[in-house]
């Protein structure tokens, strides 16, 4: 079976392909000639993941999957959530986004937060969704130099390091995306 992973991240695709073996052949957006930006206009992660996978299925006719991720902060009623990439503006600056979070939490004691990923898989027109969550807290000052996005201010529960202080392999074992992908792989292996 051929399955499009709605990403242009070659590394992510190769990593997943290695786990899946040769029963399922993954294709990237580039492989199918999709070079345009895929719309993400929905008010929640489930809607955005669905919009992206539906777009590929309807326009290109491939079975496929797409993911969407957000940081959900309890004291901010789940913000930035689906707006995580552009929380501080359309330039999508991680520095500015982290600054906005830290400012908003400056006088707040409840620092509980979680990352949540939703994967939408469409096979022959039928959709299934898989969710991955990692709970943690927003620390007071940025720590660590690896990773991306909000990693320097997010410390997962049970760990002394932020995501930006972990190596990628350790992060993936417990991360929102890692957990959602594990559920997806488990499902694909039953097909
Ligand atoms: P996307 O849906 O994977 O593009 O994620 C949306 C936004 O959430 C990103 O632009 C980042 O700001 C944030 N984000 C997603 N995953 C992570 C992560 O693993 N660490 C830190 N920030 C993340």
Is there a contact between 137 and 111 (Cβ–Cβ < 8 Å)?
A: yes
Residues with CB under 6 A from ligand 1: 68-71, 84-85, 115, 147-151, 163, 175
d(CA 93, CA 101): 12
| Centre of ligand 1 from the C-alpha of residue 13, in Å | 17
Of all protein residues, the one whose alpha carbon is nearest to atom 5 of ligand 1 is 69
Residue 6 CB-density burial (10 A; 0-12 exposed, 13-18 middle, 19+ buried): buried
Q: What is the pTM of this model?
A: 0.94
Of all protein residues, the one whose alpha carbon is nearest to atom 11 of ligand 1 is 149
Tokens describing residue 89: 């503006």
pLDDT 10s per residue in the chain (191 long)? 999 999 888 878 887 888 888 889 999 999 999 999 999 999 999 999 999 999 999 999 999 999 999 999 999 999 999 999 999 999 999 999 999 999 999 999 999 999 999 999 999 999 999 999 999 999 999 999 998 999 999 999 999 999 999 998 899 899 999 999 999 999 998 98
What pLDDT is recorded for position 8? 81
């Amino acid at each position: 079976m051929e399955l499009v992973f709605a990403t242009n991240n070659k590394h992510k695709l190769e990593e997943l392909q290695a786990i899946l073996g040769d029963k399922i052949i993954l294709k990237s957006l580039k492989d199918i000639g999709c070079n345009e930006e895929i719309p993400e206009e929905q008010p929640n992660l489930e809607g955005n993941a669905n919009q992206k996978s539906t777009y590929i299925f309807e326009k290109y006719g491939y079975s496929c999957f797409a993911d969407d991720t957000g940081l959900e902060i309890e004291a901010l009623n789940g913000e930035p959530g689906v707006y995580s990439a552009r929380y501080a503006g359309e330039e999508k600056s991680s520095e500015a986004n982290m600054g906005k979070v830290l400012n908003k939490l400056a006088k707040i004691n409840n620092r509980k937060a979680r990352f949540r990923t939703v994967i939408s898989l469409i096979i022959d027109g039928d959709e299934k969704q898989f969710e991955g969550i990692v709970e943690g807290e927003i620390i007071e000052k940025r720590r660590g130099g690896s990773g991306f996005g909000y990693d320097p201010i997010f410390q997962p529960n049970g760990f002394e390091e932020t995501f930006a202080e972990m190596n990628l392999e350790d992060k993936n074992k417990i991360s929102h995306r890692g957990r959602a992908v594990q559920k997806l792989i488990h499902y694909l292996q039953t097909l």
